[in-house]
Each structure stands twice: as structure tokens, then as C-alpha cells.
Structure 1
Amino acid sequence: MWKKCFLALISITLVGLGYRTAYSQLINRGLKSYINYGWTDFQNYPENQPVFPKFDYLGNFLLKGFDVFTWEEYRTLSPNEGSVIVKGRMFQDWLRRLVIANDTFGGVGVRFAIGGGMRTTFTPLTLDLTRLNGVRFDLASDRHQFTAIYSRVSDPLKLDYKQSFSKDWVVRKNEGVFLLGGHWESKFLRDHFTIGATFVNMYRFDSLLKLRDNSLRGVAIRNAIPDTIVVRFTDDSPEDGIGGAAVYNICAVAQVQAGDKVISMRIEPEKILKSPGVITHRNYLEASGQYHVGILEVPVSITYYFPMPKNTVQVEFKALVANDYRISIRQSHHFTIIEGSKEKTVTVSEVPLRGEWPYYPFFVIRRAKGNVRDMSNKGFVRFSYGMLTGLTTMGLNMELNLIGFHLKGEYNRNFCYFQYPVKKGDRSKWTDAAYFLTVTKDINPFMVGAEIFSIGSKYNTYHQNGPFWYFNDERQIPWQYRGITGYNNRYPLVDDNDDNDIWPDNWVDEWNIYTPDSFIRQDAAGIFPGLDKNKDQFPDYNVNNNNIPDWDEPFLQYFVDPVEFQYGADYNNNFIVDAFEDDLLPQYPYYKDEKGQHFFVTFRPLSYLKFTTGSVNIHQIAGGGINKMTYGTINIDYRVRGRGKIWFEHKVKRVRDNIPNDWWEFVLQEGGGAVGRANYIHTRFRDRLVMKNSLVHRGYLEVKYHPIRDLNIINSVRYEFNSMLASEFSDGTSQPEDKIDFIGLVCKADYKFQYKNFTIMPRIKNYWYRWSRKSLNKPYVNKNVLIPILRADYRVTRNTFIKLGMQGFPLLKNRVWNWVNKDYSYKEQDFIILVNNITYYQGYKVAWEIGWQHTYRDYEGPGLGDDNFSKFFIRVHSGISAIY
């Protein structure tokens, strides 16, 4: 039987072979077979996914896929020139701008990442970037860690996060700025001791030069030979108005290439420009204080213009100066750009740029040490001219936890490199240091602590290009994506990110949010330091992410107090809680140009009671200001189980502080915005130095009480009283006796009553605050707000609710009393009814609401215009729900 089966199988096989042989001889190009998807998955065409075979540079097949990222560097003219970065459309659409390769071996984990917004931190004084756009390599074992980064920071190819792309994006540059760096940390002594080392370098490259000519010191810009070098003298402390720069004379000596020889040539200024306010003495000029240009306060200045001979390779200046001087430099040069199809010669102008206030395109090269006013520092100051081509920061950090001691610190050295802007131009550099050390020790019931710190005035962690018109071809402005460009950008190593969110405060992001409206509307945009305690990337006073702060929005304002009621430490003595300051400065742990010490002792006799006393002694290294303070604090944190808690702190401090610490805030424009609602402008405030010699009492009391279930009563008081003592200061200024007071009070209560599917929630809140100054004889801010609310919910089904809200009633309206400007006092009523449903679908959470709202607001001021409107609304929200 088996023989017959075997012969049958052979016969069938031969017939099949014969069929194939016969078929292969036909001129028919092939017959398609029937396709059925009853049991097989449908295969879609890959028309939207460019999938191709991919090979490595040695010709080995890797995979079938698509191009994601390419970075190539050429330092020759053939086959290509420049720095080329390509980001494929799938880098944006599929991979969401982040690609990670990882592996492990022998207990060591390795990751290699390419991304457009990677949080990268080495140490607080060396590198802290909110959104690194480049590549990074990480290696970690049980006790050792290492990170390396690389980025073309001048042209990183940013993509708009809110758009999908139908093509690959390429940026090719033959010059720009690179960032590279590395950080290592290791643990010893059973993990009690950690030590690390950091190296960070940012340098300007030119791919048209040979590799050996591109060093980590960087190279100067092409086609930027100076026609004129400008030297400006100003008062280093213009706010005091006296003892500014005294300039006796200045001259320059240029080294000029003449064939094979270099000759010296003395250069005198061709022009001297004196601003308003310059005082001419018998043998010197004086620039003290400030003058007004429109709304700006601009330092008085003396400006010298030096023409530069052709073929100059070095220039050194020598100035005889005295008192509190600041010397700044810049240059003017011509270069050619292509406009349309024609060449156009452009001259670098002196248009002010956005930067430190005021916005001047000058680079500070020398500052007087301290705030000298008696000519005691008269002498010659020498400096060479050059463009900033690179900077390097290197240092060590450590942390020790042993026998109750906790030490943490770092020491760093910073080098800035300059070059006269020709190929063989002379090079120069400056260097400065920054360090800090903190130590605490628990000796129950005491804790002692100390910190010492110093950040030099020349310590620099950003590549400042503004003074020199650094690029002759336009660059993407850091806070824009693609569209708007400029010639002078700043590339920081330590971001300004006061609110520690996903965007740095200098708006280095992937789309334009540089408008007051966008500050609040964009996801996680805006600067709200200290006001995101739940870390959801949105300010706690704008949880619904609209353009109205919650303390001014119906129903939400019950839960949120205005920022005036926030309390915390204020070590820089400008009446703003330190954790809430937006200062437009790098996020160093201490201020630049300051050196000082802080010592404190804490005594805790009871678990809920502690006393602290301490002293702060800070002085500016170049600025000459001081911040000396002694303080004492009592703190109570007492909890009654099931009934509530009491939190109280009172601090008294004796202050002598003449260091200005300006800040920025989002300021309410009352009566502005849509339908009279809040409109906020990002506004700068000057520190008026109201604690140059003061005795300050400040504190906060909060009482939370729950007498019965579901009844909450909360009362809080914040106060700050600044007694300014009559004083005559060494700089010749004086301070009359005065007093500045703030007091604010919040009282609120809410109750929740539930019966079957009904929930009723009455709430009432009243807050009042006042700012006053004794010399003004009346308060300059005095406001009281009454907020009565009734909320009711009815549960129709598990996922559907009918909700009703009333804020303000016919006999008890929502009231705002503005006793300083009564026109802005008003009565208001708000009514909302809506149907709300929440559905879960395939891992998505979908919430929709349909309803009607009516608002009526009646201002006491006749010219403001009342609000009386109704609206019908339908809204749908979608998000990803948790999957378990």
C-alpha cells in the first residue's frame, strides 16, 4: 500500500514540475489568484509610510523602514561643505521628536537619545537645559554615571509641535555654534559620598576652514572686519546717580599686518559722543546716573569711536579712569547679503536689542570693583578687542551624607575666548569662578546650618552674540520656530526657568508664544514660579488653562486666592516671595556677582514648634551693593486629628539691603479683555530698595476647622510691616523715616449636603487686602471681595449629571469694593446650568457638556460699560485614561 502512495506522490510532483516548466514557456505574463480576507488581515498600501530597505555604511542590510534623523559634519569643500541636519517627517509624526536606543551589559545600562526637547542637567552652575535639541549618551551602573551631549545650538532644526509634516526638513549651515559636554558622577563610602566632574564647551565653528583651524576656542565670524570699534563708559550703579565713570583719556594701539611684518599704530578716537547728563570737568568727563528716553531710564554714557586701519590683527585699549565705571565695547562692519537676485551691502547698526535692561548691543569688558566714589581707584585699565568665539566651563561637585552631616557643593572655572575678527586675529580670554558649599547637621533638638557661595561677575554660561552682530546670515530667533529670524541670539547653558516647567522663560520653544495672550493659552506656557505645586505644568491659579485667572473667574475663585496672599521666604528683600519671582536671569542657586555667607540655628522643643535665628552677609563683587540681615523666626504647625490644623509663622528681620532685584509679573488690566474679563500683561517691576535700612515684621496664620462632617471653615491672614529707619548712607543718599504695610485676610466656608442622587454645596468667601505707606497718608491699594455661591448636582446615570451653579443672588450679590478707585467697584451675578457626561472608549476618556450661562456685572464707574450677556455652549474634551 505504501508503495502505491509513494508512486502517486512522485507522479504528482512530476506533473507539477512539468506544469511549471510548461507555464514558464508561455508568453502570458502571469495570472493573479483569488484573494480572500475571511481568515487573514487586510494589508493596507504603505502609501503614507515611506518604507524602504536601509543599509549601514558598510553595505549591510539593517531593516525595512524610513529615515528618521541624519547629522553629518564636513570640514572640506568636497563632496559637501558644512553641517547638515535632516529630520524625517516620521521623526515628527510617528516618533514624537524623541528616539532612544538602549542596551545593557555587565550591570551597566546604556542609552543613546536624539530629541528636540530633552531635560538635561549636569549641575546648577554648569549646565541646566530645559529642552536640549540634539543628541545625548547616558551610561549608568550601580555606583557610576556618565552623560555626554552634543548639539548644534545655533541651528538645531526646530519643528512646530502642533503640525504634521509631509516632507523631511533639512538645515545646512557652514558656520554656527556647537555645544558639547560631559558629566561623570561616582558614589563611594557605601553611597554616602558622591563626587562628580563636568566639562562643557560651546564654540563657534566654520566648516570652510580646515579641521585643525576649528578648535574648542572657536573662530571669529567671516566678513566682519571692523570699520570702527566703539568703546562706551557708563555708571556701573546708575540708580544711585552719583560717583559714576570718570574718564580722563583713552587711546588704542593696533597691530597691523604689513607684508611679512607687523607694525604698531597708535589710534585716536575720531568722534566722542556725550549723552545728556555728561558732566565736563577740567581734566576728565563724568558719566553718572541716568536720563530718560521715552519711558526708559538709560545710563548716562560717554562713547568713543575708533577707526580701524586695514589689515589690523590686534587692537589694545588703554584708558585712565576712576570711580564706579563700566566699560563696554562693540564694532561696526560691512557685509554682503543676497536680497532677491542681487547683492546688497549691509552696515551693522546700533539698534538696541532685546536682552538685559536697558537693551544695548554692547559687551561689558571691564567693571570697577565695588562702588567707588572718591577717585581712590584712579588708574589705567587695559583690554583687547575681540569677538566672543567660545566658552568653556569645567568643575567638580560633591555631596556627603555621614554621621548626621549633609554637605553639598561645587566649584567651577569658566573661560571665555575672544578673537579679533580676522582669520589670523589675536586671541584673548578671561576667566572667573563660581562655587558654593552648604552644610547642615542635626543635633536633636537643634539643627545648625551654613552656606558660603560666590559667583564672579565674569562667570558666563551663555554665548552672548548681540554686541557684535555675530552672524552675517540670519539665524532663527530662539523663541520662534522657523519664521522670524535675527542676527544676534543668546545660547544659554543654564536656562532661566523660574517656574521649573517644560519651557524655559526665555521662550526657547518650538512655536511662537511671545504674546501676552499666548502666555496663558498655550499648553504649559507662561512664567508662574512657585505656583504649580501639583506639578501638572499649569499654574495653580489657572487650572482650566484659559485667559482668566481663577481668582477672577466665577465658581473657581472660591478655591484660589490672589498672589498677594502667597507667603514664603524673601531673602532678597523686595517684598516678593523668592520662590515666586520671575527675574529673567539664569537659574543659578545664587545671584551672579555676589559673594556671601548664611548661618542659622534651629531649635525644636516640641514636634509642632520651632525657633530659628540666622544671619546673612552678602556683598556684590563688582557692583558694590550689600545685603546684610539678621533674623528670627517662630513656626507652629499644630494639627488636631479629625478637626483641623493651625499653621503660623512670624519672622522679624533687621535688614540693610541696597542690591536691586527687579522682577516680572503678569499684571491684571482691570476692565480689559473680552466682555470685561481679566487681561494680563507681562510687566517688569523695579526694586525700589525700600529695605536699605529697615526693621521688618512679616508672617502668616492659617486655621482650618472641620466642626462636623462635610463642613469646612478656613481663615488666613498674611501681613508684612516694613519700618524704614531714617538714615544717611555712605554714598551720600538718605532715607527718611517711613512705613510700608501690607495686610490681607481670607475667610471662607463650605458645606456639602447629599441626599440620594442630589448634592447641594453652599459656599461663601470674603477676602480683603490693603497696601499702605505712611508718607502717603492713605492706602494705595484697598480691596474687598464677597463671593456667595450655591452649587447643586443631580446624578442621572452613572456617567451623566445635571449641574447648576449660582454666584451672587438677588439679595446677596457677588460684590467687589475697590476703595481706592471706586469706579472699578461692581456687583455681579453668574448663573450656569449644564448637562455633563463622561465616557470611556478604547482607552480614551471623553467628556462633553452642553449648557447655558448668564452673566451680569454692574460697574459703579459710569464710563466702564456693564456686562450683560448669555451664551449657549457645547464642549467636548478627550484624553487618555489610565489602563490597568
Structure 2
Amino acid sequence: MYGKYGLVFLLLSSLMSPDWLQAQDYGSRLGVQRGGRVSYEPRGPGVLFDALDPTLKRWYVPQELYNEYRWRPWQYNNYARENYQRYVNTAIEGNYFYDLYGNFVTQGWLIYDMRRQQPAEFGSTVFKDSRYGSWFNNVLIASDSKGQNHYAVTIGNSIRTTLTPLTFSKPAFNGIQADFASDKYQATVLMSRISAPNQVGVAVGAVPTGVSNTTDFLGGHFTAQVGDFVTLGTTYINAHQSNTLLESFLGGRAQGDLTVDQNSSAVTRIEILLEDDSPADGRGGAALFSQNIIITAIRDFNTGERETVTGKEINFAPLVQGGFQRQGGFLAADGDETIRLIYDFSDRAYLGPDPSTIVEVTFELVLANDYKVSMASNRQLSRAGEFHPLLIARADGNVRDTSNQRLVRFDYGLPTANQIFGFHLATTSFLGFDTYAEYAVNHQFRKYPNPNVEGDHESAARRADAWMLNAAKNAYPWFVYGEAFSMGKDYATNIFLSDQRGVIDYATQNRFFEFVEDNDDQDRTPDWGRAFQAGPDIEVFPGWDENNDFINDFNQNDNRTRENQLPDYEEPFLRYHSDRPEFLFGIDLNNNGWIDRFENDTEPDFPYKRDHRGYNAYGGVHLTPETRLTAGRTRQWLISSARRSETSYALFTFDKDIADLGRIRVFEHLKRARDNIADDRIAPLPFFRGPQLPVQDVLSARATWINTVWLGFNYTGTANLTVENKLKYEFFHQLLDDEVLAELGARRDSRFFGLINKAEYSLDVA
């Protein structure tokens, strides 16, 4: 026993001897004393006088091993008295970093670096050290504060980021977010190389490979508190194609640049596609009266002299395919019919400027009725090499009598950027109202490709607007709410992604970056599949997870390891705790037969649907603390067609807990609807890995009275006994004429009646 302790004591004594306790000599790795302070400035090699002797023997100048271990190249090593000391990594505390002027900045590890050099080949790089994932779990946060000013920089692969409802909202943003907040002001800057947010061509932590063609993202948001009640804000979002071979900012960063592939050859063929913007009605589609093409070319690249010719001047007309000649002298495309105008610059009949000198092509079409215009070219293809038209213009409304005849003028170009600028105003308890208003302007830029032009290509843009206004006031027992909105049909919050070669596949849906995701169940995974992010989500069930366990409430015994495709309401015992979805009660203001908060679709999560404009207003009173009566009216219409939705409604709610008895709930929703706007949806499935099944809106409320009554009584007045009772009754009464109902195959009256009674008694087992 004593021998063991004595051995331990001897070992500790030897470890604590003065020779071992001496501080290690770090040489100059901890800086050099200059003028009373430590300096880390780099110093070049100086003159070593001992090495000036004219000998043939090679000089090995003592450096690290000599300074730290007194080790000489040819000296005999004996470690009997002075034991061997292992090598220590000189970079164990990181590397030295210096600024542009050679001043020491810090010592540490480079975890993340994103930089861009232009003009330069392979000028865009993103570096993520292996510690970025292993140490920091793909999230870096640096923050500081002084007084009321707070700062934070967040770098991550999946950052939950929202700026405003109309401009930017993503559950997993891969990039950089820099934030500032003070008492009155807040600001955010977002940056990312969205076409390749991670390293290219190498493993994480290795030296990154630079690329010349990228799709970059820049966003900003600023808010200011004005007084005690008002907040003003502005938002800027821009995503654009970039080419590091071009002179910096030569073509205007906001409008983007043509990638190497986009600008690799001249345009020799352009196709214009005319369609019916509302093909379902089968009439009043695109009406073409005349066309003309205007070609601008460079006559002398040295002087920049240009020439402009029209198709009429050189007798150049397109090849016309499709359409029907109508009385009145126009060509029509109704329903599924299309008109295709093909302009072939390589045709022998073409006598205009050489395609390699063309820098701008403008089209003038005299159109009428409900037209939709798309364009494609030999430089705008899918990966299969097929022409893929992109939308250029469309008519307002659904005019069918040619009264909207107009000259539609537009330029051809390849998409290079998407930009949104908006501002918003919010008030809190201002004159008793809480309000939020936002207006956003969307510009989608395109440029005409020509490999003989360096950077400064002719550009064009398509504009779409969106706005919303909400206002609410609560003055118990009264309350009012109103909302108005307009969402342009062409309002776009996405951009094509370029690959490393600059190739863009215009037909592949997942090669997009979305500013606003489709995430109806508001989880961490977007519902659709897009490049460089998680998804598509195979578990989408909006509103069906009220216990927040990430499992469908209608199928609690389903999981990834052991799948169960039988809903709980179809299984013995489990059905006691799960009622069929048909017994749920909720608001259905779009009249598609499904409660609004449970809907799943394939659109971005805007607060309102695109191509919709309208308003909704309601008011009400609390008759008692448990009883509320509401009445309102909503009206909305499609901007691009004549379809309308008008609904007047009343809502009665009663919800009260009575001691020694239980909970009583009474809901009734009465509405009169005239709705011919189709609101299709995706059916939620009560199990994992199910197909996304579309459900078409059958327009069951074209002119209809609808009354829904829901009664619930949970009895808990007896110990250990729970009795649950639910009743739902829904009644539809159609106001259409008998002939119309017969044509639609609809009944005058239809009903739903459901009743649930169940009891549970708990026994204590000793």
C-alpha cells in the first residue's frame, strides 16, 4: 500500500521539478518587442554574419527547432538527462492574418470566407472549413453591443429569415445575415452565392475551386420608429446572374450579366407564342391584327455606329403557324389553340443585318382580347435542346369583343435578374387601430445576347406590382377588421440558377431560387424541391399537428421506421382520440369545400394569391365574454379574367366551461356566396411518403346559401368519467336556374350530417 503511494509521489515530484516547470521559449511566435510593445508585422530574412564565411559546407540556419528545442543539424542527440520533447503543431492556435497594409489583424482559424474578384477568371469562391460543420454545426454567430446599439452576423446553411410578407421569407436560407438594432432603427443585410452556396468541386475544408458563372443574391431591410405608434420600413431584394470575366459593374449589377453560356453565340431564331390567357372558356383568346420587327445592329464595332431597320423595310416577315382567321381581319387563338410567329435570321429570305452584329430586337404586335405572349430563341432552350418560351406580356381582364385593341411593344432578351423594391407602414394603437400596409414593385430584367459585345448589353424589364392593407380595432365589446389587396399575376419571387459553365435550364422546375417559399405547414422544410436546399417535404399537413410533435394528428402511430397508412380514425381503440376531418369546423371564405387554415397548395406563401384583387371587412360584438357575433363581406376578382367571388357571411360562436358540468361549444357560419374562381388545392394525407394528389375546385358555390352548424359538449361532471358529444350539420342551397343546375349535374339542395358520441371511464388499479 505504501509502496504504491510512494511511486505516485515520485512521479509527481519528477513532473514538478524545476526543469519541467520552466516556461517554453516560443521564439518570435508570440510577437517581437519593439519600442515597448509587441509587434506582429512580417519581417523578411536579414543578414546572418555567421553565414558569411566562405566555406563549402552547407549552412542550415537555426530556426524553429533550434529556437524551441536547441536542436542542431549534426549534433549528437542523447535524451538520458534531458528527455525528448514531442513536436507541437505551430498552428495549434491558428494562423496569422494581416490586412492589406501588412498590419497584424488576428491569429486564429479561417472558418468561412466568401469573396469575389472581378474581372478575373474563376473569381467567385466560397470557403467553409471542416470545423464549420464539426465544431459549429453549420451555424456561425458573432454579436456585439454598445449601449442601445446591437449587432450580429449570422452565417449558416439553414437560417430562418423573413423580411416582409411580400418580399422574402425562407425557412432555410444558406448565406450571410448581418443585423443591427437600436431603440428606433433596425436593419438587415442578406448575401449569398445562391447558385453554389457551398464549396465547389472539393470537400469541405479543402481549398475551394473558383467559378466564373454564378447567381448571386443581395437583400436589405430597414425600419425606423416614428413617434410612439408608427413604423416605416423599406426592403430591397435582388438576385442576378454574374460573370466574373466582365469588368466590374459594367452592365449594371442590379440588372445582372449574361453568363458565359448565355452569351456564347448569336441569336439566329426567335419564336413568339400567342395564347388564350383564359383557355377554359374557349373563346375570346389572343387576336393578332398585325406585327412588325425592329432590328438594331452595330455597323462598326470600332466607332460604335449603329443602324436600325424594320421588317417592313427589308420585307422580312415571320413564318406563322396555328390560329384561325376571323371576320374582322385578325388571326385568333381561342381555348387551347396557339399562334406561333417564327423569325429566322438564318433564312435565305432574310436581308437584314448579320446576326453577329444585332444588339437589340424589338417587336410590335397589334393585339386584342385575352392574349398571352411568350418568347423563346435558339439561346433559350431546355437541357433536351427544346425551345422553352417565357412569359412577356398578357392582357388585363378577359375582354372578348376586341375593344382593348392596342400596340404591344417588347424587346427580346434572356433573363438576367429579378428585383423587388418595397416599403411598408405599420401602426400600433394609432387612433385605436392596428394597421399594416405594404407595397412592392417587381422588375424582371432580361438582356439581348451578342458575343461581340463586352458586358454592356441592351436590357429590358417586365414589371408587376403587389400591395396589401390590413386594419383592425378592438373596443370591447365591439371589434372591426378590414383588408384590401392586389397581387399581380406576373409578380415573381424567383430566379433561374446558373451552373458553373453558365448554362441555365429554362424548363427544370427545381433550378430556381425562391425569395418566398411554399411552406404551408410552416416547418423547417419547404414543400417543393429546389436546388441546394432540403425538400420536397413529404409530410405536409397544415393545421393537423396541434400537439406540435411533428406527427400528423390523424395518424399518431405512423413514423419513418414503421409506416402505417391507416388513419387513426379507421383503427380500433385509436379512433377514440381521432375524429374524421369532415367533423372539423372552420372558415372557408374561398368556398372550395375545405377549411382555409388546413389548405395546401403549390404556390409561394404570399398572404394573398397571385392574380387576385379584392377586399374583406367584418365587424362584430361580444354579447357576453363567451359569446361573439360577427358579420362581414368579402369580394375578390381575378385581374386577368372576369371571374369573381362575392360572399356575405355571419358567424356566431359560444364557448364556455361550466364548473361540475363540462365544456359547451356552439358554432354557426351562415353565408351567401357567388363564386366562380377555382381554388384548387393539394389533398393532405394522414401518412408519410404519400403522393401529392391535386384536388380540383368543382365551384360548388356559384350562387349558393351555405349554413354550417357545429355543436360540442364535453361532460366532466362525474369523477373519472368523460363523455364527448359532437354534431355537425352543413346545408347547401343552390340559387341557379334548373337548366343551369342540370347542365352542371348539380342538385338543388345537399346536406351533411354527422354525430359522434363517446365515453371514457378511468379505473385506478392498485
Kept after mapping to 1: 8 A contact 2:705/2:735: yes
**Would the alpha carbon gap of residues 44 and 595 (structure 1) be closer, same or farther in structure 2, given more than 3 Å must change?**
farther
Query: What are the within-5 Å matches in structure 2 for residues 119-134 of structure 1?
Result: 119-134=160-175
Residue 95 of structure 2, aligned match among 53, 59, 67: 53
Partner of 2:15: none
Partner of 1:406: 434
CA distance in 2, matches of 1:109, 1:542: 45
Instruction: Report deviation, 1:236.
Output: 1.1
Instruction: Report deviation, 1:226.
Output: 2.5
Equivalent position amino acid for 2:524 in 1: I
**Residue 694 in 1 paired to residue 704 in 2?**
yes
Partner of 2:579: 561
**Residue 307 in 1 paired to residue 307 in 2?**
no
Residue 544 of structure 2, aligned match among 531, 542, 553: 531
Partner of 1:680: 690
Kept after mapping to 2: 8 A contact 1:227/1:334: no
**Would the alpha carbon gap of residues 319 and 509 (structure 1) be closer, same or farther in structure 2, given more than 3 Å must change?**
closer
Partner of 2:157: 116
**Residue 749 in 1 paired to residue 741 in 2?**
no
**Would the alpha carbon gap of residues 332 and 725 (structure 1) be closer, same or farther in structure 2, given more than 3 Å must change?**
farther
**Residue 723 in 1 paired to residue 723 in 2?**
no
CA-to-partner distance for each residue in 1:696-719, whole Å, 9 max, x for gaps? 122433222213223222222344
Kept after mapping to 2: 8 A contact 1:155/1:475: no
Residue 111 of structure 2, aligned match among 56, 68, 75: 68
SS across alignment from 2:298: strand
**Residue 106 in 1 paired to residue 147 in 2?**
yes
Kept after mapping to 2: 8 A contact 1:601/1:614: yes
Partner of 2:630: 612
Kept after mapping to 2: 8 A contact 1:728/1:734: no
SS across alignment from 2:440: strand
CA distance in 1, matches of 2:330, 2:510: 34
**Residue 443 in 1 paired to residue 475 in 2?**
yes
**Residue 175 in 1 paired to residue 213 in 2?**
yes
Kept after mapping to 2: 8 A contact 1:414/1:460: yes
Equivalent position amino acid for 1:86 in 2: F
Kept after mapping to 1: 8 A contact 2:559/2:688: no
Kept after mapping to 2: 8 A contact 1:618/1:627: yes
Instruction: Report deviation, 1:472.
Output: 5.8
**Residue 497 in 1 paired to residue 519 in 2?**
yes
Which structure 1 residue ranges, 5 or more long, are not aligned? 1-11, 37-42, 290-298, 336-344, 351-360, 478-484, 521-525, 669-676, 757-884
Residue 138 of structure 1, aligned match among 155, 169, 179: 179
Partner of 1:545: 559
Instruction: Report deviation, 1:114.
Output: 0.7
**Would the alpha carbon gap of residues 117 and 244 (structure 1) be closer, same or farther in structure 2, given more than 3 Å must change?**
same
CA distance in 2, matches of 1:415, 1:346: 26
Partner of 1:342: none
**Would the alpha carbon gap of residues 633 and 388 (structure 1) be closer, same or farther in structure 2, given more than 3 Å must change?**
same
Instruction: Report deviation, 1:73.
Output: 0.2
CA distance in 2, matches of 1:629, 1:138: 43
Equivalent position amino acid for 2:625 in 1: S
CA-to-partner distance for each residue in 1:148-168, whole Å, 9 max, x for gaps? 111111221289xxxx97754
**Would the alpha carbon gap of residues 30 and 751 (structure 1) be closer, same or farther in structure 2, given more than 3 Å must change?**
farther
Compare the two structures and name the one with the higher strand fraction: 1
Kept after mapping to 2: 8 A contact 1:67/1:90: no
Kept after mapping to 2: 8 A contact 1:256/1:265: no
**Would the alpha carbon gap of residues 432 and 470 (structure 1) be closer, same or farther in structure 2, given more than 3 Å must change?**
farther
Kept after mapping to 2: 8 A contact 1:180/1:202: yes
Partner of 2:309: 264
Equivalent position amino acid for 1:456 in 2: G
CA-to-partner distance for each residue in 1:401-451, whole Å, 9 max, x for gaps? 224321122122222222212344322223332221111222332212211
Partner of 1:460: 492
CA-to-partner distance for each residue in 1:594-651, whole Å, 9 max, x for gaps? 2212121112111111111111121222233211111111111122135321222211
Partner of 1:418: 446
Residue 391 of structure 1, aligned match among 418, 431, 436: 418
CA distance in 2, matches of 1:704, 1:379: 65
CA distance in 1, matches of 2:480, 2:71: 93
Instruction: Report deviation, 1:452.
Output: 1.5
CA-to-partner distance for each residue in 1:34-56, whole Å, 9 max, x for gaps? 999xxxxxx99999x98743424
Equivalent position amino acid for 1:71 in 2: M
Partner of 2:367: 321
SS across alignment from 1:494: coil
**Residue 633 in 1 paired to residue 651 in 2?**
yes
Instruction: Report deviation, 1:502.
Output: 0.7
Partner of 2:385: 348
CA-to-partner distance for each residue in 1:561-607, whole Å, 9 max, x for gaps? 34333332212111121111111111111111222121211121111
Kept after mapping to 2: 8 A contact 1:53/1:61: no
Kept after mapping to 2: 8 A contact 1:727/1:735: no
**Stretch of structure 1 that moved more, 379-388 or 606-615:** 379-388
Partner of 1:882: none
Kept after mapping to 1: 8 A contact 2:213/2:502: no
Partner of 1:598: 616
| % identical aligned pairs | 26
SS across alignment from 2:445: strand
CA distance in 2, matches of 1:451, 1:715: 36
Instruction: Report deviation, 1:98.
Output: 0.5
CA-to-partner distance for each residue in 1:325-344, whole Å, 9 max, x for gaps? 11112222389xxxxxxxxx
CA-to-partner distance for each residue in 1:481-504, whole Å, 9 max, x for gaps? xxxx96972222111111111112
CA distance in 1, matches of 2:204, 2:461: 47
CA RMSD of aligned residues (A): 3.8
Partner of 2:389: 362
Equivalent position amino acid for 2:127 in 1: V
**Residue 240 in 1 paired to residue 240 in 2?**
no
CA-to-partner distance for each residue in 1:28-87, whole Å, 9 max, x for gaps? 325278999xxxxxx99999x98743424456667765442121101022xx53211122
CA distance in 2, matches of 1:169, 1:693: 66
**Would the alpha carbon gap of residues 601 and 122 (structure 1) be closer, same or farther in structure 2, given more than 3 Å must change?**
same
**Would the alpha carbon gap of residues 709 and 222 (structure 1) be closer, same or farther in structure 2, given more than 3 Å must change?**
farther
Residue 246 of structure 2, aligned match among 186, 206, 209: 209
Q: TM-score, normalised by structure 2?
A: 0.78
Partner of 2:642: 624
**Would the alpha carbon gap of residues 347 and 255 (structure 1) be closer, same or farther in structure 2, given more than 3 Å must change?**
farther
SS across alignment from 2:691: strand
CA distance in 1, matches of 2:326, 2:416: 39
**Residue 187 in 1 paired to residue 225 in 2?**
yes
Partner of 2:237: 200
CA distance in 1, matches of 2:389, 2:405: 24
Higher RCO structure, 1 or 2 (CA under 8 Å, sep 6+): 2
Matched residue count = 665
Kept after mapping to 2: 8 A contact 1:118/1:131: yes
Instruction: Report deviation, 1:138.
Output: 0.8
CA distance in 2, matches of 1:738, 1:208: 69
CA distance in 2, matches of 1:169, 1:612: 64
Q: TM-score, normalised by structure 1?
A: 0.68
**Would the alpha carbon gap of residues 126 and 679 (structure 1) be closer, same or farther in structure 2, given more than 3 Å must change?**
closer
Kept after mapping to 2: 8 A contact 1:149/1:180: yes
Which structure 2 residue ranges, 5 or more long, are not aligned? 1-17, 23-65, 346-353
Equivalent position amino acid for 2:143 in 1: N
**Stretch of structure 1 that moved more, 420-429 or 583-592:** 420-429
CA distance in 1, matches of 2:245, 2:413: 21
CA distance in 2, matches of 1:151, 1:166: 17
**Would the alpha carbon gap of residues 711 and 736 (structure 1) be closer, same or farther in structure 2, given more than 3 Å must change?**
closer
